[in-house]
Chains A and B, each alone.
Chain A
Amino acid sequence: MRVLVIAWKELRQLRRDRLTVGMMVMLPLMQLLLFGYAINTDVRHIPTVVYDQDQSAASRDLARGLEVTTFYDLVGQVESYDEIERALRSGKAKVALVVPRRYGAELAAGRRAQVQLVVDGSDPQTVGSAINTAAALAAARTSELLVTRGPTVATGPRIEVEPATWYNPELRTAVFIVPGLIGVILTMTMVMLTAMAIVRERERGTLEQLVVSPVKNLELMVGKIAPYVLIGYVQISLILVAGRVVFEVPFVGSPGLLYALSFLFIAANLALGLFFSTIAKTQQQAMQMSFFFLLPNMLLSGFMFPIEAMPEPAQWLSNGLPLTHFLRVVRGITLKGADFSDLVPELYWLVGLLGVLVLAASLRFRKKVA
């Protein structure tokens, strides 16, 4: 019963705290728009110069072919390798296409022709896209692509790959980012809100008043964090709906399963917030701690960068973050229609992490209050 009284009080206070409530709603929406629109790892419109030594109809066709892919923007013609170097160094272009003399003639004779793509290796992501697109284009014209990266010249092995992309066929970043955003937002707000809610009571002296009352620690903890679970669910729904409306992010799997498993993740973050609240002395410290916690989450959880590409110690760390596992859950369910049995390993992880966090938080909480 006391749990309900505490939760009621918390909701009342929250209702009067317009700023916080506004933030809880606006934060997910702002982040959604920001990440959905601004962060785009699909590389398009790479500035490109052409060094056409052949000046044939075929060479002009190739250059035009590059441009219509929309991956390349032809920004100019150059007349020498020196000019290419200047263009790359100044950033005017990131890619240069070199069409050798006799390209048109070789093709016309039915022989394999070679063209060269000089790319700016200092931006690996651009380079990756550039080479892939060009290779595909070259293959279509049965010409051979010679990629030059820096000083080394290598003729790529001619392997034919037929890629098949499932689940996000157009490879849109938003589809990948938006479900992940649910996890990031929850990590940020859940940890911060609980930590601050409890530190606030300590700052204002009301916690002491509660400690001398017959309220049990468990009642106090549950009563205080229960309303935030509700907020967490509101945020999830908000992102899902807005993601669908604005970015057409699909939802293939079972919403019920997602909401059920989200509880573990929300609870883990609340427990962490509780733990932080036993360390922080002021609300400001509580807020800072939450932000410091957010950064490794953004970097290591697989939200933006693939875990597979990380060195092994970073991968271990990544496994220790609830967000890592929740991201697999939320992406699995929304994008791939994963069912319960697919997610069992992540479930184990989440339960395990939740257990550790609850234990740590309640041990510290008891010690601190007494």
Chain B
Amino acid sequence: MTTPIIQTEHLSRRFGSLVAVRDISLSVDKGEVFGVLGPNGAGKSTTIRMLCGILDPSGGRGTVVGYDLATEAERIKERIGYMTQRFSLYEDLTVRENLWFYAGIYGVPWRQRKARVEEVLTRTGLQDRRDQLAGTLSGGWKQRVALASATIHEPPLLFLDEPTAGVDPVSRRDFWEEIHRIAASGTTVLLTTHYMDEAERCHRLAFIFKGELLDTGTPAQIVERRGLRVAELTVDDAEAAARSLGGHPEIDEISHYGHVLRLTTRGGADPAELATTLLGPRAIQTCHEARATVEDAFVSMARRS
């Protein structure tokens, strides 16, 4: 077992009287795709900013790529890649100029710079658009260039802050393929997201809520630990059914998916049985048990915390 690439102990950050992040202890292994989940304002970005060495922690400690967060922040910056929430390209520079600029900023030696930029252009399929202004690219392409810029210096650790916000599903899928390709080549990826389907694509997850770490583990572990069971029902009157089910202590959550009602229970109760008891067998047209997802676990945790 090698040493983790990120390790923190009781990392905290206060802004005045507001505690943005409290006591976060986590460890991320090399080559992992690690997802940080949480609602807006939960402290995800603050955590990332501390891990990047641009925000000093007000408590706790940690190491990133082997350097201490508090004392060696500058060394960390050289060895990580970071893509901000909005893919911050220079829209009035061409694709190639953007890559060239970031290669220079991240200290890719001058002699290798040209070769590196060419290689990245070819690998990411950007050769045809090399001289196009970044501002004229579509969202998916912009994101590809941004990712290429953030990894131009081949960092061992890559941070992505909500990388897929506002990107269409097809581009998102391509993007995730690229992320796994990067991870397979040995780069650790830490990203934040609030798309739950993306969460399931991560090797491991951390749930942050109101500045605190609620749980960490593989998606399967997190779902299992929450102990949820799910049934999907179709009923005559979904609204009325939701009302009569609501408030029952064993029911964790009821949500509408079109004509389907999704019923989640906690503590082992069988949701199908519960529905039959509460609504009467005649009110239910179909009913079958479904797999609990990361989203179920996340909503459950967020609601009960």
Contact = CB atoms under 8 A, between A and B. Distances in A.
Q: Do A and B bind each other?
A: yes
Interface residues of B, number: 30
Interface string B81-106: 01111101111110001000110111
A59 to B, nearest CB: 73
B74 to A, nearest CB: 7
A209 B84 contact: yes
A260 interface: no
Interface residues of A, number: 23
Contacts of A206: 88-90
A209 B54 CA distance: 11
Contacts of B90: 9, 13, 204, 206
Interface in A210-230: 210-215
B116 interface: no
B76 to A, nearest CB: 9
A204 B78 contact: no
Interface in A192-249: 204-206, 208-215
A212 B54 contact: yes
A8 B105 CA distance: 11
B82 A212 contact: yes
A1 B106 contact: no
B107 interface: yes
A215 B91 contact: no
B89 A5 contact: no
Interface in A1-44: 1-2, 4-6, 8-9, 12-13, 16-17
Given A9-B93, A214-B74, A214-B77, A208 B106 contact: no
A309 interface: no
Interface of A, secondary structure class, is helix
A205 B97 contact: no
B52 interface: yes
B92 A205 contact: no
A215 B101 CA distance: 12
Contacts of B104: 1-2, 4-5, 8
Nearest to A369: B54
Contacts of A2: 104-105, 107
Contacts of A213: 77, 82, 102, 105-106
Nearest to A206: B88
A56 B244 CA distance: 118
A209 B77 contact: no
A161 interface: no
Contact of A209 (B74, B88, B93, B107): B88
30 contacts: A1-B104, A1-B107, A2-B104, A2-B105, A2-B107, A5-B104, A6-B105, A9-B90, A12-B93, A13-B90, A13-B92, A16-B92, A16-B93, A204-B91, A205-B86, A206-B88, A209-B84, A209-B88, A211-B54, A212-B54, A212-B77, A212-B80, A212-B159, A213-B77, A213-B106, A214-B77, A214-B78, A214-B105, A214-B106, A370-B54
